[in-house]
Homo-oligomer: A and B are copies of this chain.
Amino acid sequence: MNIASIIGLISGIIIMIFGIAFQQDSMSFDFTMVMNFIDIPSVLITFGGSFTTLITMEPNMKSYLGKLASFRLVLHTPAVNEIETIRSIIGLSNVARKEGLLALEETANGIEDEFLKKGILLIVDGTDPELVRSIMETELNCIEGRHKEVIGFWDKLSAMGPAWGMIGTLIGLINMLKDLNDPSTIGPNMAVALVTTFYGSLLANWVCIPVVNKLKINNSSEIQMKEVIVEGLLSIQAGENPRVIEEKLKSFLNPANRIEFDAAEGGEVDG
């Protein structure tokens, strides 16, 4: 569970509801005010318009539903552990140095990370270093390409929400202006017209833009981890000294993680 994202999403809506319900005069809350913001045709136009437009852009319904489902990625913490990964690469480099590259095959079986595993097997197979780099980087680019498609989905949705919200407001205004017989209905009708813009803004700013940014951050840490893996594997294949490899990979860590890494490593060495 990604606590920060869940806190952010939930507290955002709760604070807004309190803001809606707050009565300045009596310094009290009137939660029936929330009913002002619920309107069925507005839901139809704003969410209907936004989500069907996104269907039009997708190659097929399966791909559309898959991208919608990517929302759950925001609620999970990605299993990226930089320190752990660097340590296991250094472990591999020690194995390779002492027992040869072939000894890595056995170690590879215990590794969960598919990308690291594939890289080790390529090395064990004696693949040409240039080819290892090329295959690993093609894979990296394709992973990033897929991430960017998902990020693009939420990005387009964040543009479609306000656009269809405005279309809904235009529809409400046009309907209202065409028939102004009863002046007492002008206010409420205009309120309803504005509800679609409100929905569209919420869809964009409460959901889509945070999702886009969250996925971008997740993507960039995953890609950086994979670049560390590629760098590390090629160094192992080149038979570089484990100390040099460690120095190389540690420059990817931020200062806090570097201290943690050094501390833990010191302990290990002592142990």
Partner pick for A57 among B22, B164, B213, CB 8 A cutoff? B213
Contact B244 A48 (CB under 8 A): no
Question: What's the Cα separation between A134 and B247 when bound, in Å?
Answer: 11
Partner pick for A178 among B142, B171, B188, B205, CB 8 A cutoff? B188
> Which of A19, A149, A190, A244: most chain B CB closer than 10 A?
A19
Q: How far is the CB of A184 from chain B (nearest CB, A)?
A: 8
Q: How far is the CB of A17 from chain B (nearest CB, A)?
A: 10
Chain A contact residues, majority secondary structure: helix
Copies in the complex: 5
Partner pick for A171 among B20, B210, B213, CB 8 A cutoff? B20
Tell me which residues from 114 to 171 in chain A have a Cβ below 8 Å from any Cβ of chain B.
122, 127, 131, 134-136, 138-139, 142, 146, 149, 156, 159-160, 163-164, 166-168, 170-171
Which residues of B are found within 8 Å of A88, using beta-carbon distances? Answer: none
Contact A49 B12 (CB under 8 A): yes
Instruction: State whether the Cβ of A111 lies closer than 8 Å to any Cβ in chain B.
Output: no
Contact B15 A49 (CB under 8 A): yes
Which residues of B are found within 8 Å of A214, using beta-carbon distances? Answer: 56-57
Q: How far is the CB of A1 from chain B (nearest CB, A)?
A: 11
Nearest residue (CB) in B for A215 is B57
Chain A interfacial positions (CB closer than 8 Å to B) = 2-5, 7-9, 11-12, 15-16, 18-20, 22, 24, 33, 36-37, 39-42, 44-45, 48-49, 52-61, 63-64, 74, 77, 122, 127, 131, 134-136, 138-139, 142, 146, 149, 156, 159-160, 163-164, 166-168, 170-171, 173-180, 184, 187-188, 190-192, 194-195, 197-198, 201-202, 204-206, 209-210, 213-214, 217-218, 221, 244, 247-248, 251-254
